[in-house]
Every structure is written in structure tokens, then in C-alpha cells.
Amino acid sequence: MKINAFWLSLLLAMVGMLAVGSVPMVYADAHEAGEEMEMEEESGISGWFRTDTDSLGTQIWFGGSYPAGSVSIDSDIYVVGTFAEFDLGIGIPVVDDDSLSLTFLPMVGIGFDYESANGPSSLIAPQLFTYLTAGSIYFESWIQFFFNTPFDYGDDSLYTRDFVLYSVTDNIAVGPQVEVGLTLKGMEEDTETGLSSLVVGGRINMAYGENNTLGLFVGVETQMEEDSEDTGLTGRMTFVRTW
């Protein structure tokens, strides 16, 4: 495994962030069960669970948000196959009122493929998530960099996901979605860089009981090989529960 001083410095910085983020959890564990439950109710700690099924397979996510003054400490665990990722970030509410809500969530993550005992596999940083609600309009954006070549795990890439939804009823929202993948650097010298994926389509989110949401995205991959026999039709099924 090849890790130069630059990547080692980034990993050490992430360890420091993880240590800071773990303080609320350690503090909570130091109390009795009854006091801990009362503290969680008063502190406003929130959590979520999510599953996605798409071209990567079925993925499992768990996340939580810990209030810290005017911001929040956010973390999540992402698992697919033998690969697991831990992300840590700071939620920054720019606007938060009844008519308009805007939050930025910058994060850093580190991934391990436990199929082999070879240390870290991927540095997922920087990441930026944007959440905007304005009346019946909801906008969400993902920007993620994946650095795999320092760990001999794969190509370096950039991934973005953006969608806008309009609430047609209290329980159904629909709108367009675009996903873009860029190859930044390959493990092999002859790896082709640039646009690797561009999926354009539509999304529908449906409320499915209290605090539950079902999401369905159907799109077309526009970057197909000329001799490919695939139709290009693709998408994703999502379930999210919050508490």
C-alpha cells in the first residue's frame, strides 16, 4: 500500500476530527440509562437510516446529528458488500425559518474494503451536501471526491447528484434529477479521464408512514459505449427513516 506524507497528513487530520466528534458519545455513555434518554430528548439529537439499491448493489446507511451551538456534528456509516465508509462533518444552517431553510454540510470520509487486510482503501474528501427547502420546493445536492489511487484501490473520481422536487401533495413530490461522474486520475497511465457517467431522469418521493420516505429515480445513462447492447435505462430505489 502506498501512502505518501500528504495523504498521511490528511488521515491524521481526520483522526483529530473523529476524536472531537466522539466527545458527545463518550459523555452520553457516562450517564445512567434514564438520564441518557432524558438528555437525548432535551438535546435534540436526531438520526436516520437509509437503504439504496442501484448499480452498486444494495447499500446500507446510518447517520446522526449532534447539536453543537449554532451548528451540528454530523456522522454516518455507509456499507456496501465488504466496503465500509465513515463520514464526519459539520452541519451549517444558513437560513432556518418557516418559509425558507438552507443548510450546508461539508464532510470528510475514509473507506475500508475488509475483503483484504490492507488498511484504508479510499479517502472521500472533500464532500459537500446542500439542502434547500423553499415552500413546496426542495433541492438537494451532493458533491463528493474519491481518492483511491494513493491506496492502489482504483481510480480517483468526482461524483455529483442534484435534484429538485415539487410537492404536488402533502405526501408526493416529483422533479428532475441529474447525476455526473468524472474520472480524475486512473491507476493505469492509459486510463481515460473526463466525463465517465451522465444520468438524466426523474425522481418521485412518497411519504410512507410517519418519518418514512420511499424514493424512486429512473434515468438514462447518456455515456454508453457505441457497441453496447444495453438500453441505458437505470435508476435507484431508496428508503429513508428519520427519528
Fold of 5-242: Porin (2.40.160)
CA atoms within 13 A on the CB side of 23: 9
pLDDT in tens, the chain (243 residues): 455 544 555 555 554 554 444 444 433 444 444 555 555 455 689 999 999 999 999 999 999 999 999 999 999 999 999 999 999 999 999 999 989 999 999 999 999 999 999 999 999 999 999 999 999 999 999 999 999 999 999 999 999 999 999 999 999 999 999 999 999 999 998 999 999 999 999 999 999 999 999 999 999 999 998 889 999 999 999 999 999
Whole-number pLDDT of residue 171: 97
- DSSP letter for 150, please: G
The answer to whether the CB of 34 falls within 8 A of the CB of 223 is no
CA 89 – CA 149 distance, rounded (Å): 23
| Contacts of residue 120, Cβ cutoff 8 Å, sequence gap at least 6 | 3, 11, 110, 111, 112, 151
- Give the pLDDT score at 23: 42
What pLDDT, on the 0 to 100 scale, is given for residue 24? 44
At 28 the pLDDT is 43
What is the C-alpha to C-alpha distance for residues 42 and 66, in angstroms, rounded to an integer?
12
Predicted TM-score (pTM) of the model is: 0.83
